[in-house]
Chain A
Amino acid sequence: MRLAGKGRHTGGPVGFWFNGTHYNGIGGDTLASALLANGVTTMGWTPTQHRPLGVMTAGVDEVHARVNIGKGDAKRLNVNAATLPIYDGLVAHSIVSNAGIKSFTSFLSPLMAKAPELPPENGAQQDFELISDRAWAFCDVLVIGAGPAGLMAALTAAEAGADVLVVDADTDFGGRLLSDAEHIESQSAHLWAQSTVERLAGMDNVRMMLRTSVQDVQDQGVYTAVERLHDDPRIAHRQTMWRIVAKGSVLCTGSYERPILFPNNDRPGIMLASAMRSYLHRYGVAPGKRLTVFANNDAAHQTAHDFADAGVHIAAIIDPRKGVQAGDIPVYHGAVTNTAGRNVLKSITVTHAKGQRDIVTDCLAVSGGWNPALSVSGQFGAAPEWHAETHSFCPAAGSVPGMVAAGAARGVFDTFGCLQDGVLSANEVLVDIGLDMPDITAPSAQETPYSLHPLWLVEEKGPKWGGPKGDLSFDEIEPKHRKEILADPRLSGVETTWSDDEDVARALLTAMPTPFGAETVQPDAVDIGPDAQAPIRTLPSNDACAALGAPLGRYGDWLRPSYLPFEGEDTPLAACAREVAMVRSAVGVSDVSYQTMIDVQGADAAVFLDFVCATTVSETQTRRIHPTLLLNEDGTLMDSANITRLDEAHFVVRATTASDADMMRHLDFAAQVLCPDLDVQLANITESSARFVVAGPLTRDLVNKVIDAPINDVLLPYLGARKASIGGTACRLARVSSTGEYACEIAVSVAFGEKLFVYLARAAASLEGGVFGADAANVLRIEKGILAARDMGGIVTPYDLGIARQMDASKDYIGRARVLRPDLNDARRAQLVGLKGVPNAGPLPASGVLYVRGGDRSPETVQGRVTSTCHSPSRGREIGLGFLTQGRARYGDKLVMVDPQTGTEADVDAGYHVFYDHKGEVPRG
């Protein structure tokens, strides 16, 4: 609910969509503040129990209110609603809590745990969060964060004549000053911030950057920062990565308020006290009508006073400290021991000195004190120091050479202290870099002693959500996590006043973020998509496909056509089905130049490949293609590959799924580290030729239409390779198939690629065939039971796939020692199976976990996972590939697959993983 006369943002009306409903907000709102203003309290759900979640914070530490934004190809995933500024046309959908997904997977076997983190393979990667630009900046003093300490540090350094760069991750400078109702000198603190920023901006030696967050500190004073330019995923250039070289820096990144854990502490309406004040003062929003405050420190009491001033009813303050008073607001000396309400908080149970009572309230402000932000200062591995007086971990002096922490980032929690610390810390840096300290003193401001009772956890039965693991309640994770935390070498130097290690562990767990701020907060601090630095690569046929109207999607780092649309086709699915049918009944052409090709030459090339591959490559005849497996040394599958022997000492490795970068690294490792004495030279030739696969029953007709001298199955048998020419231009032919069809790959020099593609497309059309895109290629491979890269990803073994017989145990090869281990050959492991949907039941979720149909559904009863699904035009039903415990012995089992992210489910039957051409005879001709 918006409060009249409150709020410090001044933008005009902004319309946006959230979960399908249109709302209005004010320019300067975050998505969370705009939703609260509209009375929307539920912003996400937990993955397993589907409990509604509200926003808990007003900053980068938000784990509940996470959304996907945009639609179609222009999407950003898992964006923090508490920091996302709204813009006209914003379309947001809530997702299950980010922390929840992570913790859910940790329930499952190690095999499952890896699955969701691997990049998508069989669909265009939609998180396009690319760094679109790079820039360098140089300065004398870098000020990181522009709250009270940062602004004073910047002013001090600027007055000393230093070249100053101020960066702040927020949309405005001022830090906490934007969100509290304090005074600096005689001014409102946020107005003081505004005038100080104006003063700084007017100085020639000061540069100021908003929405810029320091990600990484390196040696020699190099800082990496990401500047967000736009939020709207429809705009291409959204982020710039800055490398900042600074002689010294002042770290003023502030602190995070920590919650207190009590039973059922994550209902919508329960929020950190500081966040509550942000919504009130900065955004002019009250999250409810009857406020309660549960806090162990004085600072949080301010929340009650501020809301009372704004006309909100304060039902009670709950404080574990004895003798605390708050004017005419009732104070209970005790703790919150339970809460009620689903979509929004309805009441809390308070256990206090005189008994227990329920208090009706729709918003509860919680504060367990403050933790300095440690993600930057911890980057060089220095252990944080325990400060007994503030009950918090603070960065140790000298954690990062050249950097001095100031203000709340160093455990100074009152405004005057922060202002003063800004001056002192800047002076320290100035002396360091040889500049004179200017004559500057901090302005007068509130000086509040930080009085805190160390209450972290309410000892009461019931699920206490939060801490570093979201959807797992505190009691469930504690023993394991405690061990992990205590084992961390970075903690070995931490001095505490705590009675024993267990108390430390408990305090750490409860505190959010933990001293390992770098791990828990850093990934959320800004949204950089996966592979942010990988350039996009285009196929030789890219322009020709685009000219044919093909939508281009990103698959790994390659841009590929998803399908080639025909007039009158209204869905991608229809286009895909047509292309699949075309390949199965006539002939299809597709650009496969993205597939990894590595050239292997040298006197010992065959010996080398025998060592790298689990099969015997050296017995392959020239101009023949040998299908093989490559393992990791731990016995898991690295990839499968087809190796062509061009002559005695010359091979080409064609990887099935691995990217060329991964395959080169793997082979280079073998050549340089494991076999430094072998005469072998490797070259990545992926981009040096254009390669097109021709697949389908009319392949021979099409190939013979275009090449100069016709071929037949004797001249070019299955798994054969030979040279040929097209209009006098040299090409190579290879009889390999990844579709289950008779197929032939034609390779030419890149310069000739686009021309050949257009030629092949025309020739195919004359045979009732045509070009097929990545969608159809994906369906063809699933029908044939061929795995994608993400299905393998270093977790499955040849045994799991039922191809252990292909390995030649009579020789040594990478992975041999481990792949023979009994636990990697255990029938109880998850094995590759095919899954069939129930006829006419609609599409299967894209991925999910498997349970026995009609059986219990708990983390302990998970039977396996589904890695890819599609509609099979050739079988006329929904199919998928997955890994099922003891799968090969369970063909015919009735299962249900559930997508943990959306909760959608579908009945499936387990079976053989090959849905098309079971015997593998078709490609032979």
Chain B
Amino acid sequence: MRIPCPNCGTRDRREFTFQGDAIALDRPAPDAPDALWDLYVNPPKSPPGPVLDLWYHAPCGTWAVVHRDTANRNVISAKSAREADT
């Protein structure tokens, strides 16, 4: 798999660290209900299909939100987490 780093261009997957669901962008308020925090810390596995997830490109230190399809392994797009608005 190759991932388009928003900073460096398309690079081999091995340069990236996978973090998980892009739900991480929506951190609940400190006093949010437990159930919300549970969902945030342990998001359910998504079924095969389109997903948004987070990848870290270590060489440039960029966190990217990657839009890809786990059913056919297509990488659709990626943007930097700093600019992402999900």
Among residues 14 to 63 in chain B, which have CB atoms less than 8 Å away from a CB atom of chain A?
Answer: 14, 17, 19, 24-25, 27-28, 30, 32, 34, 37, 40-42, 45, 47-48, 54, 56, 58, 61-63
B77 CB-CB contact with A under 8 Å = no
Are A672 and B2 CB-contacts (below 8 A) given A665-B56, A816-B30, A818-B37? no
- Which of B1, B32, B48, B63 touches A673 (beta carbons < 8 Å)? B63
Does A325 have its Cβ within 8 Å of any Cβ on chain B?
no
Q: Is there an interface contact between A218 and B1, defined as CB atoms closer than 8 Å?
A: yes
Among candidates A220, A633, A673, A816, residue contacting B40 with C-beta atoms closer than 8 Å: A633
Select from chain A the residue with minimum beta-carbon distance to B14: A533
Q: Is the CB of A674 within 8 A of B30?
A: no
Give the most central of A218, A381, A672: most B CB within 10 Å: A672
Chain B residue numbers with a CB within 8 Å of A138 are none
B82: chain A residues at CB < 8 Å are: 672-673, 676
B73 contact from A219, A634, A676, A812, Cβ within 8 A: A219
> For the complex, is A669 an interface residue (Cβ under 8 Å from B)?
yes
Chain A residues with Cβ under 8 A from B45's Cβ?
Answer: 489
Measured CB to CB, the closest approach of chain B to A597, in angstroms, equals 15
User: Is the pair B41, A633 in contact by a Cβ cutoff of 8 Å?
Assistant: yes
Please state if A661 and B70 are interface contacts (CB–CB under 8 Å).
no
Contact residues in B for A665 (Cβ distance below 8 Å): 17, 56, 58
Instruction: Tell me the smallest distance from the CB of B73 to a CB of chain A, in Å.
Output: 5
CB-CB < 8 A to B83: which residues of A?
A: 676
Classify chain A's interface size: 20 to 34
The answer to whether the Cβ of A817 comes within 8 Å of any Cβ in the partner chain is yes
Which of chain A's residues have a CB closer than 8 A to the CB of B37? 817-818
List of B residues within 8 angstroms of A676 by Cβ: 81-83
State the Cβ distance, A433 to closest chain B Cβ, in Å. 21
Q: What is the distance, in angstroms, from A491's C-beta to the closest C-beta of chain B?
A: 12
A682 to B47, CA, bound (A): 36
Contact call A219/B41, Cβ cutoff below 8 A: no
**CA of A821 to CA of B48, assembled, Å:** 32
Known pairs A218-B13, A220-B2, A817-B32; A668 contacts B61 (CB<8 A)? yes
Q: Which of B14, B17, B41, B47 has the largest count of A CB atoms less than 10 A from its CB?
A: B41
Check B71 for interface membership: any CB of A closer than 8 A.
yes
Interchain nearest-CB distance for A660 vs B (Å): 10
Contact A661 B58 (CB under 8 A): yes
Nearest-Cβ distance from residue A822 to partner chain B, whole angstroms: 10
A170 to B30, CA, bound (A): 56
CB contact under 8 A between A672 and B63, given known A219-B2, A489-B47: yes
Count residues of chain B with CB under 8 A from any CB of chain A: 37
A668 touches B71 (CB 8 A): no
Query: Could you tell me if A673 and B2 are in contact, using CB atoms closer than 8 angstroms?
Result: no
Given known contacts A381-B48, A661-B58, A816-B30, is B63 in contact with A669 (CB within 8 Å)?
yes
Least CB separation from A669: chain B residue = B63
Residue of B nearest to A666 (CB): B56
Are A380 and B73 within 8 A (Cβ)? Answer: yes
State the Cβ distance, B35 to closest chain A Cβ, in Å.
12
A816, B31: Cα distance in complex, Å? 10
Judge whether B73 and A672 touch: CB under 8 Å: no
Name the residue of chain A whose CB is nearest to the CB of B41. A634
User: Does B27 contact A674, Cβ atoms closer than 8 Å?
Assistant: yes
Residues of chain B within 8 A of A380, CB atoms compared: 72-73
Residue of A nearest to B72 (CB): A380
In the assembled complex, the Cα of A817 lies from the Cα of B72 at a distance in Å of 37
Tell me whether A668 and B63 are in contact in the complex, defined as CB-CB below 8 angstroms, given that A219-B73, A489-B47 are known contacts: yes
Contact at A673–B41, with CB atoms within 8 Å?
A: no
Q: Does chain B have a CB within 8 A of A664?
A: yes
Which residues from chain B contact A220 at a C-beta distance below 8 Å? Answer: 2
A812 to B27, CA, bound (A): 12
Nearest Cβ on chain A to B75's Cβ, whole angstroms: 8
B19 surroundings in chain A (CB, below 8 A):
669
**Bound complex: CA of A682 vs CA of B82, how far in Å?**
14
- Rounded to whole angstroms, the CA-CA distance of A661 and B34 in the bound complex is 31
Chain A residues lying within 8 Å of B2, measured Cβ to Cβ, are 218-220
Contacts of B24 in A (CB 8 A): 669, 673-674
Q: Which residues of B contact A669 (CB under 8 A)?
A: 19, 24, 56, 63
- Given contact pairs A218-B13, A664-B61, A672 touches B80 in the complex (Cβ within 8 A): yes
Are the CB atoms of B25 and A673 closer together than 8 Å?
yes
- The residues of B that contact A673 with a CB separation of less than 8 Å are 24-25, 54, 63, 81-82
Contacts of B62 in A (CB 8 A): 668, 672
CB-CB under 8 A from A672, the residues of chain B are: 62-63, 80-82
Q: Judging by beta carbons under 8 Å apart, are A817 and B30 in contact?
A: yes
- Residues of B within 8 Å of A668, CB to CB, are 56, 61-63
25 A-B pairs with C-beta separation under 8 A: A218-B12, A218-B13, A219-B2, A381-B48, A489-B47, A533-B14, A633-B27, A633-B40, A633-B41, A634-B41, A634-B42, A661-B58, A664-B58, A665-B17, A668-B61, A672-B62, A673-B25, A673-B54, A673-B63, A676-B81, A676-B83, A812-B30, A816-B30, A817-B28, A821-B34
A682-B61, A812-B30 given; 11 more Cβ-contact pairs under 8 Å: A219-B2, A380-B73, A489-B47, A633-B41, A634-B42, A664-B58, A672-B80, A672-B82, A673-B24, A673-B54, A676-B83
State the B residues within 8 Å of A (CB).
1-2, 12-14, 17, 19, 24-25, 27-28, 30, 32, 34, 37, 40-42, 45, 47-48, 54, 56, 58, 61-63, 70-75, 80-83
